[in-house]
C-alpha cells in the first residue's frame, strides 16, 4: 500500500493545493502586477512545459539570475515541475563567479533579469550550450541572441497540465552555491523532502496563517529565501515582491500592503527601523532574522515599533534556517541585558530538524557549560543531500555521520547553542557571506603583495566587514585604494575589504600558520560582545 499511503513529499504539492483552494486570492504583488494563485499555477505550468519543450530533461539544472520578481517565484515551482533542478545564483556575484557556477552546475538554461543581462552575457561568453532567457514584465528583450520570456513561454504550446508530483522525494529540487570558505563556491543539493519539511517548519515557527502577507526583503537566491518561497505559497499567503531593499520602499509596502512578515539579516532590519519613515505598525509584523544575532538596540527598537524578531540560525547546507532561539516564559520580559543575551543565542533545532550538537574533535559532545567551545554539527531532513560533483567535499563535510558546519559554538546548560566564532574563514557582512580566503587570493595576486590575512572586523552598519592585513615587498609603494580596486576587478565588489592595514609581519604559529584569531582579538577588543556572543 506504500504507493497509496505515502505520497512523495514535494513543495510542488503546495502550489497544486493553493492554485486550487486559493484560486482567486492574490498570490503575488509585483509592482503594479497582481497574480492570483490560479495565475501563478498556470504560469508555473507554462514555464515547466516550455522548459521541457526547450529540451530540459529530468535532473537537468536550470539557472536563474533574478531579483525577487514574479518569474523568480515561478521558477521555484516551474523548474522542479519540469523535473529539473533550480540553480538560483546570487545576483551580486562577479562575472567569473557566475561563470564558475554555470559551468560547475552544468546548467542548460539561464533566466536573467534585463538589469543583469550585461553580467550574464559576459559570463556566458566563453560557455556554450546554455540558452539564455531574459525575463521582463514588459517583455523588453533587445539582445537578439537571447530569448524573451514570452518567446520562451510560447514554446509551452497547448497541452495537458503536468502532474504536481515527484517519483522520489529524495531527488534534488535545488542546487544552491555557497559563497565558499575555500575560495570556490560549493553546490549544495536540496531535496524535495527537505524543502517540504523545512517549509512546514517555517510556517509553524514564523506563525504564518492564510492571512500572511510576506514582503520579499530577503533574496530568494539565498537558500530559496530560507524555503519561504515554498512556505508562503503552501499557506496561501501573499508574496510582495521587492527588487531593491530600500527602507522607504519597505515602509510603503508595510503600510500599503498590510505586510505581516518579512525576513532579513540584522543590517536590513537596522535600516528599516532607523529609516525616517519608521513609526509603529498597526498590525504586528514578524521578522525572521539570521546570519548574525540582532543587537540589543535593534531588538529593543524593533519591538517598540511592533516588529517581533525571530532569531534563526543555519547555513546554505541546512536549507537556510535549522535552529530557532525559542523564547521561554521564564526569561525576563524587560529590556535587560540578560534578556538580549538569551535572545541573541542561536538556540535549538526547529520542530522539523534534529537537535544541534556541539562536538569536540572526537565527535563527543562538549560540556553543556556555555564555555567549552566545539564545532556545531547537524543532521537529518534539514541537512543537504551533499555537495554536487564533490564526493570528497561531501565525505569531509559529513565525517562521523554528521554535517560539520565549520561554526564554532558552545552549548549552554539550557540546551541552547551559541556561536562563539564563525567558520574561521567567513565574514558575514550585511547578510552576505564573504570568504576571506577568496579575498586573500585576490589580494595576493597583486605583484606588490607578499602575504595577507583578512578577518572580519566590527561594523556598525554591516555587522562585520572584511579588513585586510597586508605585508608588501620591501621598497614597493602600493596604496590602499590601489589594492582595493585590484580586488574589485577580480571578485564581487561587496567582498572587497574597505580597509587595509600594512604590517611588517603577520602573527604566526610555530609551524608558520597565520594566527587570524590574534588579529581578530585586537579588532574586537573594544566591542562589548563578539558577533554571535
Among residues 276 and 401, whose Cβ is nearest to its own copies?
401
In order of 16, 219, 341, 365, the CA distances from 104 in angstroms are 32, 22, 42, 36
Among residues 21 and 127, whose Cβ is nearest to its own copies?
21
Among residues 164 and 462, whose Cβ is nearest to its own copies?
164
* Residues 74 and 47: beta-carbon distance below 8 Å: yes
Among residues 20 and 508, whose Cβ is nearest to its own copies?
20
Instruction: Look at strands 417-421 and 432-435 and give their pairing.
Output: unpaired
DSSP 302-322: HHHTTEEEEEEEEEGGGTEEE
Helix-, strand-, coil-residue percentages of the chain, each rounded to 5: 35, 25, 45
DSSP letter at 461 equals T
Among residues 20 and 473, whose Cβ is nearest to its own copies?
20
Helices (H), 381-479: 391-397, 436-444
Q: Which three cell numbers stand for residue 25?
A: 486570492
Minimum separation from the CB atom of position 1 to its own copies (A)? 5
Among residues 98 and 189, whose Cβ is nearest to its own copies?
189
Q: Which of 394, 466, 399 is nearest to 435 (CA)?
A: 466
Minimum separation from the CB atom of position 387 to its own copies (A)? 10
Which residues in 239-253 are b (16+ Cβ under 10 Å) and which e?
bbbbbebebebbbeb
Minimum separation from the CB atom of position 351 to its own copies (A)? 6
* Binding stretches for its own copies (CB under 8 A): 1-7, 9, 13-14, 16-17, 20-25, 170, 191, 193-194, 200, 203-204, 207-210, 234-236, 326-330, 348-349, 351-352, 354-355, 379-381, 383-386, 394, 398, 401-403, 414-415
Minimum separation from the CB atom of position 16 to its own copies (A)? 7
Minimum separation from the CB atom of position 194 to its own copies (A)? 7
Among residues 234 and 483, whose Cβ is nearest to its own copies?
234
| Phi, psi dihedrals of residue 244, rounded to the nearest 5° | -135, 130
Minimum separation from the CB atom of position 526 to its own copies (A)? 35
Residue 532 CB: number of other CB atoms within 10 A?
Answer: 21
* Residues 104 and 187: beta-carbon distance below 8 Å: yes
Minimum separation from the CB atom of position 328 to its own copies (A)? 7
Amino acid at each position: 500500500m506504500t504507493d497509496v499511503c505515502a505520497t512523495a513529499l514535494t513543495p510542488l504539492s503546495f502550489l497544486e493545493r493553493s492554485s486550487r483552494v486559493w484560486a482567486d486570492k492574490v498570490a503575488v504583488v509585483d509592482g503594479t502586477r497582481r497574480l492570483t494563485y490560479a495565475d501563478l499555477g498556470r504560469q508555473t505550468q507554462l514555464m515547466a512545459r516550455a522548459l521541457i519543450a526547450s529540451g530540459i530533461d529530468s535532473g537537468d539544472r536550470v539557472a536563474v539570475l533574478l531579483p525577487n520578481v514574479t518569474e523568480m517565484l515561478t521558477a521555484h515551482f516551474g523548474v522542479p515541475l519540469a523535473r529539473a533542478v533550480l540553480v538560483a545564483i546570487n545576483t551580486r556575484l562577479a562575472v567569473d563567479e557566475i561563470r564558475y557556477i554555470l559551468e560547475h552546475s552544468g546548467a542548460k538554461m539561464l533566466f536573467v533579469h534585463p538589469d543583469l543581462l550585461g553580467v550574464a552575457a559576459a559570463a556566458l561568453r566563453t560557455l556554450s550550450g546554455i540558452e539564455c532567457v531574459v525575463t521582463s514584465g514588459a517583455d523588453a528583450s533587445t539582445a537578439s541572441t537571447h530569448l524573451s520570456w514570452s518567446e520562451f513561454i510560447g514554446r509551452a504550446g497547448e497541452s495537458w497540465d503536468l502532474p504536481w508530483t515527484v517519483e522520489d522525494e529524495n531527488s534534488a529540487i535545488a542546487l544552491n552555491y555557497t559563497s565558499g570558505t575555500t575560495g570556490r563556491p560549493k553546490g549544495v543539493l536540496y531535496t524535495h523532502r527537505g524543502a517540504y519539511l523545512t517549509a512546514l517548519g517555517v510556517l509553524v515557527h514564523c506563525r504564518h496563517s492564510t492571512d500572511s502577507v510576506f514582503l520579499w526583503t530577503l533574496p530568494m537566491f539565498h537558500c530559496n529565501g530560507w524555503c519561504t518561497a515554498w512556505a508562503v505559497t503552501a499557506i496561501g499567503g501573499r508574496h510582495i515582491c521587492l527588487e531593491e531593499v530600500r527602507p522607504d520602499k519597505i515602509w510603503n509596502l508595510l503600510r500599503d500592503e498590510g505586510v505581516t512578515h518579512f525576513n532579513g539579516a540584522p543590517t536590513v532590519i537596522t535600516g528599516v527601523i532607523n529609516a525616517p519613515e519608521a513609526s509603529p505598525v498597526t498590525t504586528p509584523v514578524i521578522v525572521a532574522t539570521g546570519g548574525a544575532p540582532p543587537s540589543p538596540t535593534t531588538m529593543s527598537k524593533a519591538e517598540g515599533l511592533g516588529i517581533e524578531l525571530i532569531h534563526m540560525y543555519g547555513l546554505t547546507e541546512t536549507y537556510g534556517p535549522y535552529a530557532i532561539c525559542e523564547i521561554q516564559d521564564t526569561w525576563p520580559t524587560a529590556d535587560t541585558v540578560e534578556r538580549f543575551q538569551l535572545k541573541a543565542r542561536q538556540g535549538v533545532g526547529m520542530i522539523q530538524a534534529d537537535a544541534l550538537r556541539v562536538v569536540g574533535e572526537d565527535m563527543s559532545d562538549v560540556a553543556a557549560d556555555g564555555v567549552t567551545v566545539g564545532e556545531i554539527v547537524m543532521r537529518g531532513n534539514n541537512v543537504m543531500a551533499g555537495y554536487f560533483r564533490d564526493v570528497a567535499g561531501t565525505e569531509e563535510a559529513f565525517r562521523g555521520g554528521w554535517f560539520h558546519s565549520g561554526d564554532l559554538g558552545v552549548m549552554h546548560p539550557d540546551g541552547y547553542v551559541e556561536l562563539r566564532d564563525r567558520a574561521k574563514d567567513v565574514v558575514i557582512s550585511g547578510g552576505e557571506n564573504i570568504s576571506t580566503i577568496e579575498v586573500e587570493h585576490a589580494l595576493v595576486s597583486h605583484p606588490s603583495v607578499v602575504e595577507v590575512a583578512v578577518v572580519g572586523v566590527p561594523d556598525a552598519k554591516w555587522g562585520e566587514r572584511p579588513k585586510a592585513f597586508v605585508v608588501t615587498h620591501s621598497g614597493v609603494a602600493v596604496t590602499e585604494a590601489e589594492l582595493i580596486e585590484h580586488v574589485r576587478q577580480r571578485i564581487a565588489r561587496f567582498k572587497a575589504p574597505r580597509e587595509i592595514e600594512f604590517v611588517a609581519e603577520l602573527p604566526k604559529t610555530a609551524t608558520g600558520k597565520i594566527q587570524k584569531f590574534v588579529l581578530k582579538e585586537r579588532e574586537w577588543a573594544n566591542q562589548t560582545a563578539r558577533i554571535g556572543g
